[in-house]
Amino acid sequence: MKSIMTDIELTQQELLWLTTAQQMCRQAGEVLKGHFRRRDLDIEDKGNAFDIVTEADKGSERIIIDTLRSHFPDHAILSEESGDDHRQAQCQWVIDPLDGTVNYSAGLATYCISIGLKVEGETRMGYVYAPTLDEEFYAFKGKGAYGPNGRLQAKSTSELQRAVISTGFPYDKATNPDNNLDRFSQVMPRVRGIRRLGSAAMDLCYVAAGWLDGYWELNLKEWDACAGELIALEAGATVKRYRNDHGICILAACPGIAPQLLKLVE
């Protein structure tokens, strides 16, 4: 199994968490790659045409949940497709078995598996794996963040006009006027470029890696943000959940531009 562990010092428990995340995400990743760009991919709507689930999401989730139930039978699980098992436990795994489903269903390779682990309500580990790219990102609270080229460090950009930013739009964009278009129009003329990756977990990891200068989005769920948020924080990015009335509204950016970007999007 490929590993990117370098100088990080982990306890035996943390090492078990990480190796389990690696193993199950690589197995689930094989399922995702097996369905990727197949014309007969089964796609279902989850309430509207913008929010969808595929047979690949479900297959990936089955592998992850079965692995967790086998290795950590006393842990709670919150997963996008199966929901919350409502188990009272010290540890809770927060799972998105396929983040970027719209990309995936269209044949675009920007998608990933996102795994967060909370201990007594605090995120202690984040792990994100992009199967097609074979890239993994992970972090432990207080121990830094790591990616394809070793330890991650957010960029030091201090001028908004030199920044490349990413964002996304909520699934209720057609019916809710609070759909991020106004914020997009505020930010777009002030930055070098705006990108729409279509995967919140990868947006956050790319800020951590210094490949993006910043990112914001509205109306996310805990499984979208949990792992990537810790990875970005541990890489030195400024990360803020800045509203509580429209799901999770999150900003992650280089510290030098975060205050300017926050004023435009909050």
Question: Do residues 175 and 76 both lie within one domain?
Answer: no
Instruction: Say which CATH number the domain at 194 has.
Output: 3.40.190.80
Q: For the chain, what is the mean pLDDT?
A: 92
Tens-place pLDDT, residues 194-216: 999 999 999 999 999 999 999 99
Return the number of other C-beta atoms located less than 10 Å from residue 99's C-beta: 28
Last residue of a domain, one of 90, 125, 151: 151
Q: Characterize the bridge pairing of strands 193-195 and 164-167.
A: parallel
In this structure, are residues 95 and 67 in contact, taking their beta carbons and an 8 Å threshold?
A: no
**pLDDT grade, residue 1 (50/70/90)?**
very low
Question: Do residues 207 and 132 both lie within one domain?
Answer: no
Average pLDDT over residues 3-24: 85
150 sits in which H/E element = strand 150-151
Residue 52 has a pLDDT of 65
Question: Do residues 122 and 224 both lie within one domain?
Answer: no
Q: What percent of the chain has pLDDT over 90?
A: 80
Average pLDDT over residues 88-98: 95
pTM strictly above 0.85: yes
Question: Do residues 42 and 137 both lie within one domain?
Answer: yes
**pLDDT grade, residue 170 (50/70/90)?**
confident
Question: Do residues 164 and 144 both lie within one domain?
Answer: no
Question: Do residues 16 and 65 both lie within one domain?
Answer: yes
Average pLDDT over residues 238-265: 96
Average pLDDT over residues 252-256: 98
For residue 1, tell me if it sits in a domain. no
The one-letter amino acid at 20: T
pLDDT at 96 over 60: yes
Residue 81 has a pLDDT of 82
| β-bridge mates for residue 257, sequence order | none
CA distances in angstroms from 72 to 28, 100, 126, listed in the order given: 18, 27, 17
Average pLDDT over residues 83-105: 91
Residue 2 has a pLDDT of 47
Tens-place pLDDT, residues 110-159: 999 999 999 999 999 999 999 999 999 999 999 999 999 899 999 999 99
C-alpha to C-alpha distance for 139 and 141, rounded to whole angstroms? 7
For residue 221, tell me if it sits in a domain. yes
C-alpha to C-alpha distance for 165 and 5, rounded to whole angstroms? 28
Question: Do residues 94 and 196 both lie within one domain?
Answer: no
pLDDT at 108 over 50: yes
Last residue of a domain, one of 151, 177, 209: 151
Question: Do residues 123 and 96 both lie within one domain?
Answer: yes
Average pLDDT over residues 242-253: 94
Domain that holds residue 128: 12-151
CB-based contacts of 98, cutoff 8 Å, min separation 6 = 32, 54, 56, 57, 60, 104, 111, 112, 113
pLDDT at 93 over 70: yes
Question: Do residues 211 and 251 both lie within one domain?
Answer: yes
Instruction: Say which CATH number the domain at 43 has.
Output: 3.30.540.10
Domain count, the chain: 2
Last residue of a domain, one of 95, 124, 151: 151
For residue 3, tell me if it sits in a domain. no
C-alpha to C-alpha distance for 63 and 189, rounded to whole angstroms? 44
Question: Do residues 144 and 195 both lie within one domain?
Answer: no
CB-based contacts of 233, cutoff 8 Å, min separation 6 = 139, 145, 239
Tens-place pLDDT, residues 23-70: 999 999 999 999 999 988 888 876 666 666 788 889 999 999 999 999
Residue 42 has a pLDDT of 87
Question: Do residues 80 and 196 both lie within one domain?
Answer: no
